[in-house]
Amino acid sequence: MSRRSNPARILVVDDDPDTVDILSRHLQREGFVAIEAFCGADCLRIARESDVDVILLDLMMPEMDGFQVCQELKGDPKTAEIPIILITARDDIEARAEGIRLGASEFLTKPFSRRQLVARINSQLNLLEAARTTKAVLNRLGRDQS
C-alpha cells in the first residue's frame, strides 16, 4: 500500500456487477477502500465528487466505453491526476496504445492475478505520492523565492 495514513480509495468501474463485486472484495482484503461504479457516467460523477486515488476502468462498456471515460477524466483538471488502470479482455496492441495515448497509466488484460492487480495499484499510488510531494516542494520553493 501507499505510505498514506488512510487506506487508498480505489474506484472500480465495470458494467458487470459480478466483476465489480470480485474486484471490490479483492481490494478490501488488501486493505483498500473500494468504491463501485457500473457505468462511465457514474465513474465521472464519483471521480469529480470524491477523493479517489486510483481508478480501475473496464474498457468495454455500453454508452461510454473506457476510452471515452479516460479521455473525459484526463481532460478535467479536477480528475486529470488520478491514475487510471484500464482493465479489459482485449489484448491487442492498438487498444493498449489508444489507452496510453488517452492518459491511462496501466493496462491489465483479463484474467489477471490479484498479486498483479495489487502491484499495479501500489505502483500507481507510489507514483502519485511522489508527484504530489514534488509539486508541494516546488510550490514551497516558488513561495520562498517571491
Q: Which three cell numbers stand for residue 95?
A: 487498444
> What does the pLDDT profile of the chain (146 residues) look like in tens digits?
334 578 999 999 999 999 999 999 999 999 999 999 999 999 999 999 999 999 999 999 999 999 999 999 999 999 999 999 999 888 889 999 999 999 999 999 988 899 999 999 999 999 999 988 898 898 888 877 76
Domain boundaries, given as residue ranges, for the chain: 9-145
Distance CA 107, CA 100 (A): 8
Distance CA 130, CA 3 (A): 11
pTM of the model: 0.90
Note every long-range contact of 62-67, with CB atoms under 8 Å and residues 24 or more positions apart, other chains counting. 62/15, 63/39, 64/39, 64/40, 65/40, 66/13, 66/40, 66/99, 67/98, 67/99, 67/102
Q: Does domain 9-145 have CATH number 3.40.50.2300?
A: yes
